[in-house]
């Protein structure tokens, strides 16, 4: 983090390298969310088929 110029705000991790790191982390998180949701959906579909076979 750099020393500030007078009356200039300090930017906290807003440089290009940090921004890319943040975006990469969020992308990984979104992929994890997608995987979790897809797994749940598959589980639900499998359960529905089993329920139908019992009726």
Partner 1 sequence: MPTTARPLVDANDVVVPDGYEVEAVMVGLSLPTDVTVADDGTVFVSEGGSSWPTRPYMPARVIALHPNGEVEAITMNVHAGPRGITWYNGELYMAFKGGYHMQLAKYNLETGKLTILIDKVPSGGWHEPGGPIFGPDGLMYFGHGSVSQQGVSLPAGFTVDLAKHPLAHDVPGQDITLTGNNVWSRDPRKPYAYLTLTGPFKPFGTRSEKGEVIKGELWCNSAVWRCKPDGTNVELLAWGIRNPFGMAINEQGELYVSDNDFEEKGERAVALDPDRIWHIKNASQPFGSVTTPDWYGFPDIYGDGLPVNHEKHLPLKGKAAELFIQDPPPWAGPAAFLEQPHSCMCRMDFSRSDFFGHRGELFVTEWGTLAPLNSPREEDLDHGFRVIRVDVKEGTSELFMHNRIMGPASAHGGGGIERPVSCRFSPDGKSLYVLDFGVAHISEGSMFGFAHTGVLWKITKKEMSHG
Q: Rule CB under 8 A: which residues touch partner 1?
A: 1, 3-4, 7, 9-14, 16, 19, 22, 25-26, 29, 32, 44, 47
Q: Which is nearer to partner 1, 51 or 53 (CB)?
A: 51
Could you tell me the smallest distance in angstroms from the CB atom of residue 15 to partner 1? 8
Two structure tokens written together for 17: 């390298």
For residue 42, give Cα distances in angstroms to 24, 28, 31, 36, 47.
Answer: 27, 21, 16, 10, 9
Could you tell me the smallest distance in angstroms from the CB atom of residue 13 to partner 1? 6
């Amino acid at each position: 983090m750099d020393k500030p110029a007078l009356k200039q705000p300090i930017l906290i991790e807003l440089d290009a390298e940090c921004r890319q790191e943040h975006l990469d982390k969020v992308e990984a998180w979104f992929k994890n969310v997608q995987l979790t949701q897809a797994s749940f959906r598959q589980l639900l579909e499998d359960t529905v088929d089993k329920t139908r076979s019992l009726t």
